[in-house]
């Protein structure tokens, strides 16, 4: 029973999706998640490996995520049917004194899982084995770097979210005074699309990114700002100062729940020398505030999209990167047996 959304997602399913922070999945009990419209239960089996299986008891569909984990198995909260880490139903208490395993095999769908960079990843390919690694979250545990995750629920779909995370023109409106203020400056920009990524470089070494700059770049060194989108759902924004001695990186990987709802795991990583000690306390509330402003504007756009759809957008040169992201995602979603959109490079200007 594959969800409609997963069924309609074509090649977008053939990736690892973040389903939880590692620390959220303990041996104490299961957690329930929705990925691409499918209810999934995550739990830790003996040996601590994370198991992901359909969150549905084979008996009467009670949610296993409300059950218990014991002896390397998960038990349904309703009548106690018990499943092992392979999804096999190995015990039905009402079948006998010891609840002997029934003769015919009853089995729940399981999903390949792995843990990397502090996240639990689930492979969503339909009937396919993993053929690639999850996105490598940069500097999750690199020497000299600080890092932390934020998990945020958005009322909008993945395409619009990744566009928002890479969109510069909105910053002077949505994050006015917090991140950037309008300065009527021209921003020469290069956009480069490959068959799986869109890279944007801003030729604007004197860009200012708000009062955080005192912390991130106290000496006012030239700043290199690049935004990159990686198929199908991840953005990485780098601010590198001077000779790369200091850097600030925001990486967001989006997990679709439904067409208009998405969970985003954002890794903030920073290398600021001694200022790392201050950044540890200062950055989390600041980045939480900025993300909250995006949550609100994405909800506003989401309401418009639910009413009008997304087939009548108007694009300007500042939307070039968005158009390329949409082209890649639409190609993958179509599942068509055609070549991906051609690699290309475009240069343009916009104003902030
Ligand atoms: S619904 Fe799960 S055991 Fe009955
Ligand atoms: Fe934003």
The domain that holds 34 is classified in CATH as 2.102.10.10
List the residue whose alpha carbon is closest to atom 4 of ligand 1: 79
Position 136 pLDDT exceeds 80:
yes
What is the rounded CA–CA span in Å between residue 224 and residue 241? 6
What is the rounded CA–CA span in Å between residue 232 and residue 248? 23
Residue 334's alpha-carbon distances to 8, 81, 128, 258, 323, in angstroms, are: 8, 39, 17, 17, 16
Could you tell me if residue 139 is inside a domain? no
Domain assignment of residue 163, given as a range: 146-351
- Give the pLDDT of residue 207: 65
- Give the pLDDT of residue 84: 95
Q: Which residues surround ligand 2, an ion (CB under 5 A)?
A: 294
| Helical H segments across the chain, by residue range | 4-7, 158-166, 171-174, 213-216, 276-308, 320-334
User: Are both 107 and 230 inside the same structural domain?
Assistant: no
- Give the pLDDT of residue 197: 96
Q: Do the beta carbons of residue 180 and residue 343 sit within 8 Å?
A: no
DSSP letter at 344 equals E
Position 179 pLDDT exceeds 70:
no
User: Are both 118 and 164 inside the same structural domain?
Assistant: no
User: Are both 87 and 191 inside the same structural domain?
Assistant: no
Distance between Cα 66 and ligand 1 center (Å): 11
- Give the pLDDT of residue 83: 96
User: Are both 159 and 193 inside the same structural domain?
Assistant: yes
- Give the pLDDT of residue 180: 66
Average pLDDT (220-224) is 82
Q: How far is CA 224 from the centre of its chain?
A: 24
User: Are both 69 and 217 inside the same structural domain?
Assistant: no
**Three-class SS of residue 154?**
strand
84-113 b/e (C-beta count within 10 Å ≥ 16 → b)? bbebbbbbbeeeeeeeebeeeeeebebbeb
Question: At 319, is the pLDDT very low, low, confident or very high (cuts 50, 70, 90)?
Answer: confident
**Three-class SS of residue 94?**
helix
pLDDT tens per residue, range 69-113: 999 999 999 999 999 999 999 999 998 888 777 777 899 999 999
Q: Is 57 in the pocket of ligand 1 (CB under 6 A)?
A: yes
What is the rounded CA–CA span in Å between residue 303 and residue 317? 25
Give the chain's mean pLDDT. Answer: 92
Q: Which of 41, 63, 81 maximizes ligand 1 atoms within 8 Å of its Cβ, making it the mutation to test the pocket? A: 81
- Which residues are paired to 31 by β-bridges? 42
Atom of ligand 1 lying closest to residue 76 CA: 2
Distance between Cα 352 and ligand 2 center (Å): 14
Distance between Cα 290 and ligand 2 center (Å): 7
Q: Is 114 in the pocket of ligand 1 (CB under 6 A)?
A: no
Question: At 326, is the pLDDT very low, low, confident or very high (cuts 50, 70, 90)?
Answer: very high
Average pLDDT (207-232) is 81
Average pLDDT (206-211) is 64
Position 225 pLDDT exceeds 90:
no
Could you tell me if residue 141 is inside a domain? no
User: Are both 172 and 103 inside the same structural domain?
Assistant: no
CA atoms within 13 A on the CB side of 189: 27
Q: Is 321 in the pocket of ligand 1 (CB under 6 A)?
A: no
- Give the pLDDT of residue 242: 83
CATH no. for residue 236? 3.90.380.10
Position 325 pLDDT exceeds 70:
yes
Could you tell me if residue 133 is inside a domain? no
User: Are both 207 and 326 inside the same structural domain?
Assistant: yes
Concatenate the DSSP letters of all residues of 191-229 into one string: EEE-SSEEEEEE--TT---GGGHHHH-TT---EEEEEEE
Could you tell me if residue 128 is inside a domain? no
User: Are both 103 and 9 inside the same structural domain?
Assistant: yes
- Give the pLDDT of residue 214: 73
Atom of ligand 1 lying closest to residue 57 CA: 2
- Give the pLDDT of residue 210: 64
Query: Which two three-digit tokens encode residue 47?
Result: 């040996």
pLDDT tens per residue, range 45-77: 988 899 999 999 999 999 999 999 999 999 999
The pTM of this model reads: 0.94
Q: How far is CA 20 from the centre of its chain?
A: 10
Q: Do the beta carbons of residue 107 and residue 86 sit within 8 Å?
A: yes
Distance between Cα 27 and ligand 1 center (Å): 21
Could you tell me if residue 136 is inside a domain? no
Position 350 pLDDT exceeds 70:
yes
**Closest by Cα among 19, 15, 48, 22 to 115:** 22
User: Are both 210 and 344 inside the same structural domain?
Assistant: yes
**Closest by Cα among 322, 343, 329, 338 to 15:** 329
Query: Which two three-digit tokens encode residue 170?
Result: 């909105």
Atom of ligand 1 lying closest to residue 92 CA: 3
The answer for residues whose C-beta is within 8 angstroms of residue 60's C-beta and 6 or more apart is 78, 79
Position 158 pLDDT exceeds 70:
yes
């Amino acid at each position: 029973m594959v969800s409609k959304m997963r069924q309609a997602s074509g090649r977008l399913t053939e990736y690892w999706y973040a389903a939880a922070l590692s620390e959220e999945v303990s041996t104490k009990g299961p957690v329930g998640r929705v990925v691409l419209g499918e209810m999934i239960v995550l739990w830790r089996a003996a040996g601590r490996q994370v198991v992901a299986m359909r969150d549905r008891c084979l008996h009467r569909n009670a949610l296993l995520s409300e059950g218990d984990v014991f002896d390397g198995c998960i038990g349904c909260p309703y009548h106690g049917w018990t499943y092992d880490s392979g999804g096999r139903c190995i015990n039905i208490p009402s079948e006998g004194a010891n609840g002997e395993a029934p003769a015919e095999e009853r089995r729940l769908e399981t999903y390949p899982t792995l843990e990397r960079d502090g996240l639990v990843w689930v492979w969503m390919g339909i009937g396919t084995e993993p053929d690639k690694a999850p996105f490598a979250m940069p500097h999750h545990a690199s020497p000299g770097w600080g890092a932390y995750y934020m998990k945020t629920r958005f009322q909008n779909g993945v395409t619009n979210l990744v566009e928002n995370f890479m969109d510069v023109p909105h910053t002077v409106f949505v994050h006015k005074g917090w991140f950037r203020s309008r300065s009527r400056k021209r921003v020469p920009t290069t956009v480069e699309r490959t068959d799986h990524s869109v890279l944007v470089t801003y030729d604007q070494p004197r860009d200012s990114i708000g009062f955080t700059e005192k912390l991130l770049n106290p000496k006012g060194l030239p700043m290199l700002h690049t935004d990159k989108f990686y198929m199908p759902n991840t953005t990485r924004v780098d601010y590198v100062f001077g000779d790369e001695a200091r850097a600030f990186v925001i990486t967001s990987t989006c997990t679709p729940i439904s067409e208009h709802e998405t969970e985003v795991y954002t890794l903030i990583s920073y290398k600021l020398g001694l200022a790392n000690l201050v950044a540890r306390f200062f950055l989390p509330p600041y980045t939480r505030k900025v993300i909250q402003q995006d949550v609100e504007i994405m909800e506003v756009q989401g309401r418009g999209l639910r009413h009008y759809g997304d087939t009548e957008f108007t694009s300007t040169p500042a939307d070039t990167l968005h158009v390329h992201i949409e082209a890649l995602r639409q190609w993958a979603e179509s599942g068509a047996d055609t070549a991906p959109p051609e690699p290309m490079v475009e240069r343009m200007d916009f104003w902030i």
